[in-house]
Chains A and B, each alone.
Chain A
Amino acid sequence: MTQAKTTYKPSDEVDFVIIGSGAAGGVLAKELSTNGFRVVVLEQGPYLTEVDFTHDEIEVFNNHRLTNDPKRQPVTFRKSESEKAVLQPSVMYGRCVGGSSVHFTANFWRFHEIDFIERSKVGGIPGTGFADWPIMYADLEPYYTKVEWEIGVSGRAGASPFDPPRSKPYPMPPLPVKGSGVVFERGARKLGYHPFPAPMAILSQPRPGRSACVNCGFCLGFGCEVGAKSSSLATVIRMAEHTGRCEIRPNCYVHKIATDKNGRATGAVYFDAQRNTHLQKAKAVVVCANGAETPRLLLLSANNAFPNGLANSSGLVGKYLMPNSGAIALGVFDEPLNDYKGPAVSRVFHDFYELDAKKLGFYGGGGLDARFDLTPVAFAMRALPPDTPRWGKEFKKALQQNFTRTMEIFCHATSLPVASNNFSLDPDVKDAWGLPALRMTYQDHPNDMKMMAWMVERAMEVLDAAGARTKWHPPISETSFAVHLLGTCRMGNDPKTSVINPDHRTHDIPNLFLCDGSSLVTSGRGQPTMTIQALAYRAADRITALAKRGDLASPVSHAT
């Protein structure tokens, strides 16, 4: 029953070329092809499927089978714009069909109402570009529901008193609770918090062609061998191909968006696996390359008409990087949790979603989850109590005692948008294709450091109340590594202070759209993928409406 795959020639002018096949690109491919458009998706990584996935930690973490390879794609890092950046693998993202949704944890929280209007509620924060979104939670609610039902999200509606309103329950019940979830729930309730079953983009019940989760435990960092993780690969990519109008073209490294003399995008220029250069022609271009590579591509595409890069009249392309603040506390229990079984997370609480800035002296908020995401090698290298010897008899004894008895509490939280935190092109370092490398400039806003220091102490209290016999947390340290790549081509109504409008159309080029983590105006509370996908479903509706009324060629209207 194998369906012949649809293919187009680069010289065929398709309706849309989509750059990137991850959380957003997969959804847009499915929606636009379902709506009758001819679509080519260009993915820089390989087209792997379930049979290619492995539990080999070396293959995944060191050989970068699923992610960007810092050897071929160097990244440089610096803390401030006055420094010279140094080589440092500071960014990680999925580099395969399905993008980061293939290897992610699959924590799937909606944003709440507050995330869209927080600037108005809290007020401005010096040194930041803190802003309200041009859309509200209510605008996205139908799309959140659509994500849950189309890709398959497990959870229990109404279980958290802090949840925003929803139009439908989850399509399937929560995944099984883990030992970490049970003790976390016990500890959190003792302290008066409201833990609930984690919403996860992992199937608790089978769907056609996909197994329910088999609890193999190789989840964060790994591709799912049974299709239970609701990645774009396991869901929307296949639906897109099934329309017969969408080609997923892997191993295509897009390095330029071509424009014509009228300032319109004409297609995407890419290297194929043999490094031959092609131009895939299209009536419109949709960039879903993630919050690092989307701004990099716009900057790489600079030409005489757009000397500062495409869609960059605001100067904000690459700016306001928000990687989400994070902190972690670990605890060891008397009896085996065996938390290596199952997906990483089974319980969460959101009591700190909206903290009282006046009382605490810092803005922000977040959620805590109970998890174990450490596969055996990573555990041995990173997760023994700090005073444990790292070799010899005592080391071996600690491994033996602790592997089955350790859990983590992960604090996920806001990052403030600061213009000097950004992605740009490195002036000196080149990648293996000879293109300027990605340069990350980042220094945590002092507010975010204060918040994490506060939150990790709450996590320590929960571990205590949960009955941990040993607990510790790594020091709160400055961010120099990002996996959530948010805010770098932000959405807004004003072309002076944003890159895309609420339709995801760039203010400057009428047939160029951006949709991925870069679109976000605020960072949410540390789980962006659900919102990225809801935005993608909404963007597909908006783009379809524009295309159907023949509006993709007309000058951009800023009126909303």
Chain B
Amino acid sequence: MKTVNSARRDFLLQMGGVAGAAWVTAQWPGILAAAQHAHAAAKANPPPAFEVLTPEEAREIEALSSTIIPSDELPGAREAGVVYFIDRALKSFAADARPAYEKGLADLRKMTSEMFPGVERFSAATPGQQEKLLAKLDEDSRSGRSTGLEIGGPSGMSFFATLWFHTLAGFLVDPEGGGNRDYAGWKVIGRDPAHTFSPPFGFYDKDYPGWQAASPETESK
């Protein structure tokens, strides 16, 4: 699988072919800077230890995000390292969601033991129980969809909405953003991690003959 660095390196190598050597020469200092930037980003990838979450919180969040995007023959939230992304999120762009997580996890613990007496925490529940619990959380939080280009954010969102957004982001964000480990999420959705593409892109443009003005023949096809 490709790491951030190798994808970026492939991109830089391909640039020569795509744009011509002159462009690369003109841009060389910039390209080096970009490569260094990517390198720094890669080094900042999930550390082995959690920096915000306690081990218990991390275990619960991993169980929750794995219920949102389960693992099967293809990677799920667990393999994509979503919980590490969330740990990082809580000290960067989503720092203000920390109380929502704390309260949400406490409420969930209570809800778990109420719905399933004897089960102490979400991560200890069976998969079937976990689905019922998540369904309840989801139902209780049917709001918090955002508008416009803003694709989500912690302020004012429910615990479920926050967790859902962070799980999707941690699964699918470009690895430069600290999630989607080894492109696990992109493997599921079929997004090639390459940095540049050439046509044809897919099935329908393979045999496209080139644009022609409409004629009676083409219109009847």
- Are A and B associated in one complex? yes
User: What is the interface of chain A, defined by CB distance below 8 A to chain B?
Assistant: 49-51, 54-59, 61-63, 89-90, 92, 156, 159, 174, 176-179, 181-183, 185-186, 189-190, 192, 194, 196-197, 206, 208-212, 214-218, 221, 225-226, 333, 335-342, 376-382, 390-393, 395-396, 399-400, 403-404, 480-481, 483
Given B19, B67, B174, B213, which contacts A56 in the complex, CB threshold below 8 Å? Answer: B174
Q: How far is the CA of A186 from the CA of B211 in the complex (A)?
A: 11
Interface pair A58/B172, CB less than 8 Å apart: no
Interface pair B19/A182, CB less than 8 Å apart: no
A71 and chain B: residue at smallest CB distance? B155
Tally of A-B Cβ pairs under 8 angstroms: 208
A204 to chain B, nearest CB (A): 11
Interface pair A337/B19, CB less than 8 Å apart: no
Interface pair B205/A196, CB less than 8 Å apart: no
A2 and chain B: residue at smallest CB distance? B29
Residues of A within 8 A of B190 (CB): 336, 338, 400, 403-404
Interface pair B148/A337, CB less than 8 Å apart: no
Interface pair B205/A89, CB less than 8 Å apart: no
Interface pair B19/A211, CB less than 8 Å apart: yes
Interface pair A62/B221, CB less than 8 Å apart: no
Q: How far is the CA of A399 from the CA of B184 in the complex (A)?
A: 13
- In the complex, 20 of the A-B residue pairs with CB atoms within 8 angstroms, ordered by the A residue number, are A51-B34, A59-B176, A61-B151, A62-B151, A92-B149, A177-B205, A181-B205, A186-B221, A189-B214, A211-B15, A212-B18, A214-B15, A337-B201, A377-B168, A380-B168, A390-B138, A392-B68, A396-B76, A399-B188, A400-B188
A272 to chain B, nearest CB (A): 25
Interface pair A380/B172, CB less than 8 Å apart: yes
Interface pair A190/B219, CB less than 8 Å apart: yes
Residues of B within 8 A of A342 (CB): 197, 199, 201
Interface pair B201/A61, CB less than 8 Å apart: no
Contact of B56 with A by CB under 8 A: no
Given A174, A192, A226, which contacts B15 in the complex, CB threshold below 8 Å? Answer: A226
B62 to chain A, nearest CB (A): 15
Interface pair A177/B211, CB less than 8 Å apart: yes
Contact of B9 with A by CB under 8 A: no
Residues of A within 8 A of B152 (CB): 62, 381
Given A59-B177, A62-B153: A176 in contact with B199 (beta carbons within 8 A):
yes
Interface pair B149/A61, CB less than 8 Å apart: yes
Interface pair A403/B197, CB less than 8 Å apart: no
A482 to chain B, nearest CB (A): 9
Interface pair A51/B33, CB less than 8 Å apart: yes
Given A90, A337, A381, which contacts B168 in the complex, CB threshold below 8 Å? Answer: A381
Given B37, B68, B204, which contacts A333 in the complex, CB threshold below 8 Å? Answer: B204
A377 to chain B, nearest CB (A): 5
Q: How far is the CA of A395 from the CA of B186 in the complex (A)?
A: 15
Interface size on B, residues (CB 8 A): 65
Interface pair A179/B18, CB less than 8 Å apart: no
Interface pair B186/A376, CB less than 8 Å apart: yes
Interface pair B191/A340, CB less than 8 Å apart: yes
A103 and chain B: residue at smallest CB distance? B149
Q: How far is the CA of A398 from the CA of B204 in the complex (A)?
A: 21
Q: How far is the CA of A51 from the CA of B74 in the complex (A)?
A: 34
A86 to chain B, nearest CB (A): 12
Given A55-B174, A337-B202, A376-B185: A391 in contact with B69 (beta carbons within 8 A):
yes
Question: B89-114 CB contact bits vs A (8 Å, 1 = yes)?
Answer: 10001000000000000000000000
B25 to chain A, nearest CB (A): 11
The 8 closest A-B pairs by CB, nearest first: A335-B203, A56-B177, A338-B202, A403-B189, A211-B19, A481-B148, A376-B172, A214-B196
Contact of B164 with A by CB under 8 A: yes
Interface pair B201/A209, CB less than 8 Å apart: no
Interface pair B150/A182, CB less than 8 Å apart: no
Given A58-B169, A62-B153, A396-B70: A404 in contact with B30 (beta carbons within 8 A):
no
Residues of B within 8 A of A341 (CB): 192, 197, 201-202
Interface pair A51/B151, CB less than 8 Å apart: no
Interface pair A480/B147, CB less than 8 Å apart: yes
Interface pair B34/A225, CB less than 8 Å apart: yes
Interface pair A381/B191, CB less than 8 Å apart: no
Q: How far is the CA of A174 from the CA of B199 in the complex (A)?
A: 13
A222 to chain B, nearest CB (A): 10
Given A225, A390, A400, which contacts B74 in the complex, CB threshold below 8 Å? Answer: A400
